[in-house]
């Protein structure tokens, strides 16, 4: 059973945001958010402005699949030592530096191309950037979990969200401004230079303390059993088998052995926690447009209020978890993220109403910022320190896939039933998450209740 956290005063909870590991995640979050739009909407804008056909641009959305299947190579990031880099910087920092090199190299390569003449090469380099970005996400998540105890993970998640939003702004609005003032080549070279923020952060911060790979492997009963039964076999076969068992099999068996029958319900909870807000996401912009709002109004409200509220929600979530623990705030986050979808149903019924639009954007982003911060902290607490990269990559992929899948049917529901009914259905999808959050919050083995601090 995990050690119960000590309940902090409000002053002590606020002071958490001044800790070095928490501040570090601000810059690593920026590094994680920067490449995302550069292979999606920003790249699409460049391709279209250079005359690339819309049909061809649509296929570039498939690049995003890499972010949803990153758990396939997470065991490699978790366990494979990189020549020179791991020895010099450590496992986590070495992989982050390699990923950042891939991102920067891919962006420099993109800057040197004319998309209309080299569309295949543009696609290849965009894949390099996306692969580097997804790999960096794996390493950053592992670095975050291993750098600090569970009770400040929510604060680290909230500063990560702030940094990530900053990276999105730089790669979105920032890149477009530079491209309009100079050129797309200068814009992408500027973004490649901003990768240096992540590089400098990695170089300045220490590698988290962790057991060596050989020590971890030798403590695995399955690995020891394999080594005993494979005596007399070729050395390469024994080493490869031990590595595969430790890197691929053990992360999954470890989770089920620790949580037993609860493991399946935990996986269901992870899958449904964000299903409500992810399922409705595809129909938010069509709703605004069909209600009659101008593109300028949509951009101003969603960017200004949306980003501000998302950041505020993340900070609030980290503060509340530090003060009250993960359990009650997990229930609050699940309920808020689900029930705020009703604001969009109200907007659909109200029509073109700016106050209703602002209310929906504020409520939705505030709730999702809070829910994201507490849920990242919860997933981090479920992750074994021996398999941080692999287990967290699996959790984060499972968290987004069901909602993204259901989101694809949103247009069909709206066409048949209308926007208001669609957002009510999206709200109903989140009710199981609230019930499971209540179950999790009452389980002291999963979320220990904070112990009142000594006077």
Sequential pLDDT tens for the chain (455 residues):
555 665 667 777 778 888 999 999 999 999 999 998 898 878 888 888 888 886 777 677 678 778 878 888 998 898 888 999 999 999 999 999 999 999 999 999 999 999 988 999 999 999 999 999 999 999 999 999 999 887 788 889 889 989 998 998 898 878 888 998 899 999 999 999 999 999 999 999 999 987 555 556 556 667 777 767 777 778 777 777 776 777 777 888 888 888 888 999 999 999 999 888 888 876 777 788 788 888 677 767 876 778 888 888 988 988 888 888 888 999 999 999 999 999 999 999 998 888 998 999 999 989 998 998 899 889 888 888 778 888 888 888 888 778 877 877 777 888 888 889 989 999 999 999 999 999 999 888 887 666 555 44
CB contact set of 221 (below 8 Å; sequence gap of 6+)? none
| Three-class secondary structure of residue 199 per DSSP | helix
Residues in the chain: 455
Least Cα distance to 307 among 157, 153, 169 occurs for: 169
Query: Are the C-beta atoms of 224 and 56 separated by less than 8 Å?
Result: no
Token output for 88: 């010099």
Entry pTM: 0.78
* Secondary-structure breakdown of the chain: helix, strand, coil percentages, each rounded to the nearest 5: 80, 0, 20
Distance CA 185, CA 49 (A): 13
Distance, in Å, from the CA atom of 253 to the CA atom of 300, rounded to the nearest integer, reads 48
Report the 10 Å Cβ neighbour count for 316: 19
């Amino acid at each position: 059973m995990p050690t119960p956290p000590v309940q902090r005063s409000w002053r002590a909870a606020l002071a958490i945001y001044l800790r070095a590991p928490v501040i570090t995640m601000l810059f690593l979050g920026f590094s994680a958010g920067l490449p995302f739009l550069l292979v999606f909407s920003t790249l699409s804008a460049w391709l279209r402005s250079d005359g690339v056909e819309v049909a061809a641009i649509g296929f570039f959305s498939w690049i995003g699949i890499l972010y949803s299947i990153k758990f396939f190579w997470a065991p490699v990031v978790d366990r494979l030592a990189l020549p020179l880099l791991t020895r010099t910087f450590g496992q986590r920092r070495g992989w982050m530096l390699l990923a950042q090199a891939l991102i920067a190299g891919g962006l420099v390569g993109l800057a040197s191309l004319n998309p209309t003449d080299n569309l295949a090469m543009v696609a290849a380099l965009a894949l390099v950037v996306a692969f580097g970005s997804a790999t960096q996400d794996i390493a950053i998540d592992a670095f975050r979990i291993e750098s600090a105890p569970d009770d400040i993970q929510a604060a680290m998640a909230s500063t990560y969200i702030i940094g990530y939003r900053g990276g999105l702004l730089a790669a979105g609005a920032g890149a477009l401004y530079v491209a309009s003032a100079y050129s797309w080549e200068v814009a992408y070279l500027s973004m490649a230079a901003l990768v240096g923020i992540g590089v400098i952060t990695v170089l300045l911060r220490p590698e988290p303390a962790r057991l060596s790979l050989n020590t971890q492997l030798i403590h695995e009963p399955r690995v020891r059993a394999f080594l005993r039964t494979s005596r007399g076999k070729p050395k390469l076969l024994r080493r490869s088998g031990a590595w595969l068992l430790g890197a691929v099999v053990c992360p999954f068996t470890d989770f089920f052995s620790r949580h037993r029958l609860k493991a399946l319900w935990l996986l269901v909870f992870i899958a449904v926690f964000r299903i409500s807000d992810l399922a409705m996401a595809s129909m938010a912009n069509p709703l605004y447009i069909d209600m009659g709002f101008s593109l300028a109004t949509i951009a101003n409200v969603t960017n200004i209020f949306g980003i501000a509220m998302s950041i505020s929600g993340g900070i609030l979530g980290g503060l509340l978890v530090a003060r009250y623990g993960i359990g009650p705030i997990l229930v609050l986050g699940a309920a808020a993220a689900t029930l705020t979808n009703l604001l969009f149903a109200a907007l659909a019924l109200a029509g073109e109403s700016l106050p209703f639009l602002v209310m929906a954007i504020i409520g939705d982003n505030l709730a999702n910022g809070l829910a994201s911060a507490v849920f990242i902290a919860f997933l981090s607490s479920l992750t074994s320190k021996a398999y941080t990269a692999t287990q967290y990559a699996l959790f984060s992929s499972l968290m987004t896939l069901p909602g993204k899948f259901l989101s694809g049917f949103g247009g069909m529901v709206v066409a048949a039933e209308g926007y208001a009914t669609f957002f009510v259905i999206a709200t109903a999808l989140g009710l199981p998450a609230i019930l499971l959050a209540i179950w999790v919050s009452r389980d002291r083995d999963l979320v220990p209740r904070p112990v009142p601090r000594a006077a």
